[in-house]
Chain A
Amino acid sequence: MQENNSEYLFSSITMDLSWNTDVGETMAGFFQRLKAERRLYGTRCSNCLRVYLPPRPVCGNCWQQMNDWVELGEQGTIVGKTVCYYEILDSMTGKPRTTPFVLGLIQIDGADTTLNHFVETPDPDHVSIGDRVETVLRDTLQGNVGDIVHFQWLGPPTTSSQGSKK
């Protein structure tokens, strides 16, 4: 069959499939704590003391089982950021996300690793590395990562908003 006025033939396939992935004990522990307390928790390696968010069952650097849960702050610091101008589908709504949007690498107070997530701000051009953000959770928590809606930009650090380093 000729398609697209092309001299070459191709066969077009669309699939609608679904998978159910078990999140595992550690991630389940994170979501349960989030739902019960509206708090983010990380896991801490008893060997190198690194605090992981997202929490991990094993510290890869030390090949060490992690069983210590650490309560983390509600705010964090932007350690990397970009303003995106290309269109992507919002996986929560299935609709294109309005551009420009801001992505950040966010280090939550008390964690050693960073999250990549959306930063909400009235002015994308004024977001800088080192600025502070606040975690915004949805009103009714469901116990999945969609509970973290985005991180609200607060602006450059002030003495009072500066997170405590371990």
Chain B
Amino acid sequence: MKARPVAIVGTGQTRHRKARPDVHQGEMVQEAVNLALLDADLSWDDIDAIVLTNMELFEGRALPDLWCSEFAGGLGKPVMKVATGGTSGTSGAIAGLLQAASGLFDTVLVVGWEKHSEGSTQTGMSLTDPAWDRHIAAGAIGNFALSISQYVAERGVTGEQAAMVAVKARRNGALNPNAHVKDAGITVEKVLASPMLAEPVHLLDMCPQSDGAAALIVVGGDKTRRYKNPAWFRGSATRHDQPYIGDHDKRMVMMRTLRSAAQEVYRKVGIGDPFKEIDIAEIYEPVSYAELAWYEALGFCAEGDAGKLIESGATQIGGDLPVNPSGGVLCSNPVGATGVIRVAEAARQLHLKAGDYQVDGARRALVSGYGVYTWSDVLFFSAERP
């Protein structure tokens, strides 16, 4: 059976913040769902199936689908949950897109959320191997810094170049009402003067932990006709990898799952030169240095040229390939929603609804997801119907 064309026709996001003490998880989910339905001009009755994405242990509450299905409008409808770490949101989006593409459902809602303020990321310890890793666990930042030290040693990227990524992100975030961290006046000097967490990672090089939810409406078949600027789904790829950080020779220097997933997507949609042929990218950068490494893994530049690429300004809004015009993960990171946000922001660009950070002439958009140090999702959307 051949997949049929499907598109994202509506998105909704909460204002992502350090804490949303005014709502519980379900109410936050409902907020994003209502905004997405409004955006797509649909009602609850129109939704055929729902995909939920959340990292349940962070809030200390098992079966988030039990607690949040009704707030997503899921009663009496098929609901499934996807949890793959940081990639949860992109994996959930892929699941929803493929459900619609299969012809099984015409209209699918994807909604992801996290309420970091409620819980403890210490529960992230439960991700690690109980026999081996927990005795020596030193947190996400230390592990990032270890991988980054190798990337810096092999490629020679500088702290200034990484800081330029953080500056781009927070300035873009200042244009986005939904962004959690925003700073229109941030400078490279301010990033480098922020506290050192784990050499060479400064506080302002890192993503925040946020409360927030994001939703997508996917439609297929005749349902796509009434929409003026659908974000057509062109292809996706997913890769998982071995669990220990030490298993991979190159780690961040060349994340093999991201490169391989991107190459598969480029092959599927016929992209030869990603830098020239992609108009905008929303990628999952948990730390400034990672964005540089992903430029190389995604083929935006040659290996070792990421520092030059950020210096060129090409990845800023107005450049040849704006990366994370929304501000990205460095501005908002409600983990279970973060991948959904990447897809939503790419779709908003193709819907021509990105407001102050709209990229002129955005017709082809790339999305990447990053999970548990090793996993990758890549998705591609276009304004052109397949």
Contact = CB atoms under 8 A, between A and B. Distances in A.
- Physical interaction between A and B: yes
Interface of A: 6, 8, 10, 13, 15, 19, 21, 23-24, 27, 52-54, 60-61, 79-86, 88, 91-92, 103-105, 112-118, 129, 144-146
Contact of B132 (A54, A81, A84, A85): A54
Given A103-B142, A113-B244, A116-B136, A19 B149 contact: no
A8 B21 contact: yes
Given A21-B130, A80-B147, A146-B135, A85 B246 contact: no
B153 interface: yes
B245 to A, nearest CB: 6
Contacts of B147: 80
Interface of B: 21-22, 60, 118, 129-132, 134-139, 141-143, 145-150, 153, 195-201, 241-242, 244-247, 249, 251
A104 B137 CA distance: 12
A132 B139 CA distance: 24
A53 B244 CA distance: 10
Nearest to A124: B199
Considering residues B198, B200, B251, which has the most beta carbons from chain A within 10 angstroms of its beta carbon?
B198
Contacts of B199: 82-85
A116 B139 CA distance: 11
Contact of A103 (B118, B134, B198): B198
A60 B257 CA distance: 13
A88 B139 contact: yes
A86 B146 contact: no
Contact of A27 (B132, B134, B138): B132
Contacts of B244: 54, 113
B21 A10 contact: yes
A86 B141 contact: yes
Contact of A52 (B118, B141, B247, B251): B247
A91 B134 contact: yes
A-B pairs, top 3 by smallest CB distance, nearest first, are A82-B145, A114-B246, A8-B21
Contacts of B132: 27, 54, 145
Contacts of A84: 138, 141-142, 145, 197-199
Considering residues B136, B153, B196, which has the most beta carbons from chain A within 10 angstroms of its beta carbon?
B136
Contacts of B200: 82
Contacts of A88: 138-139, 142
Contacts of A19: 130
Contacts of A52: 247
A105 B21 contact: no
B138 A103 contact: yes
A33 B29 CA distance: 51
A113 B241 CA distance: 14
A8 B242 CA distance: 43
A156 B278 CA distance: 45
Contact of B146 (A10, A82, A85): A82
Contacts of A145: 131-132, 135-136
Nearest to A112: B249
B162 to A, nearest CB: 14
Contact of B196 (A6, A15, A85): A85
B198 A117 contact: no
Contacts of A114: 245-246
Given A10-B21, A145-B132, A80 B149 contact: yes
12 contacts: A15-B60, A23-B131, A80-B150, A82-B201, A85-B196, A85-B198, A85-B199, A88-B138, A88-B142, A91-B135, A116-B138, A129-B153
